[in-house]
Structure 1
C-alpha cells in the first residue's frame, strides 16, 4: 500500500487507465523506455486528450491506480491484446512496459496530466495515499 511521500506519475489516455486498473491491460505500449526499471509506486493518471508536445498538460486528469513498472521489452504483435489494442495498431520498434501490483484507488483523485514521468505535489500524494487500497 502506498503510504505517501514523493510520488511519480505517468498519464495514459482513457480508457487505458481503467483497463489497467481492472487488470484487463497488463502492458503499456510506448515508443520510449523508462530511465529506471523497476519503478515502484507510480500513480497512473487517466486523461482524455493525447499529450504529444513537450510541456503539454491536461488539467482534467485523475489518478485511477498505483502501479509498479517491472519490465520493459520489445513489443511483439502477439502482445497486442495485453496492451489493450488490436493487432492492426501494432508498430514495430515500440516497447511494452510490464505492469504489476496494480492498486486501484477507491476514489479517483484529480491531478493535472502531463507528458512522460512527472512528480505529483505533496498534497496530491497525500490524497492518493488516503484512497489507495491495501
Structure 2
C-alpha cells in the first residue's frame, strides 16, 4: 500500500469511515482470525483515506494484490495514500485507536 501498488483493501465488513477521515495502515505477518486476535509485531506504514466501499469483483484482483477471489467481499477504494516513516504498532482486527506522534507521520 505504501508503495502505491495495492490500491484496494478487501474485507467482509464496511469500515464506517467517511472519505475525509484518515486510516493508519498497520501491516503484520500473520492472519488474525478472531476478533480478539492481536499481533504486537505490526508495522505502521501509511495513512490513507477510503474514497468508496463497493462489492469486490474479479477484475479487482490485481489492484487488491489478491491471490484468490470470493463473492461477498467488499473492496475499499484507497485514496490519498501517504507513506510514513515505519514504526512498531499493534495490529488488531477492525478499526481501533492508535497513539501516533506527529514525527511518526512525516513522510520518509
Normalised to the residue count of structure 1, the TM-score between the two structures is 0.74
Query: Contact 1:75–1:95 at 8 Å: present in 2 too?
Result: yes
Unaligned runs of 5+ residues in structure 1 are: 1-19
Question: Partner residue of 1:115?
Answer: 93
Normalised to the residue count of structure 2, the TM-score between the two structures is 0.91
Moved over 3 A (4+): none
CA-atom RMSD, angstroms?
1.5
**Larger helix proportion, structure 1 or 2?**
1
Question: Partner residue of 2:103?
Answer: 130
The alpha carbon displacement at 1:71 in A equals 0.7
Query: Contact 2:27–2:43 at 8 Å: present in 1 too?
Result: yes
Q: What is the total number of aligned residue pairs between the two structures? A: 107
Deviations 1:66-91 (A, max 9, x none): 111111010110111101124xx111
Unaligned runs of 5+ residues in structure 2 are: none
Please give the alpha-carbon distance, in whole angstroms, between the structure 2 residues aligned to 1:77 and 1:31.
15
The alpha carbon displacement at 1:40 in A equals 2.2
Matches within 5 A, 1:78-89: 78-86=59-67, 89=68
Deviations 1:28-73 (A, max 9, x none): 0111111233252211001101111011110100100111111101
Please give the alpha-carbon distance, in whole angstroms, between the structure 1 residues aligned to 2:35 and 2:66.
25
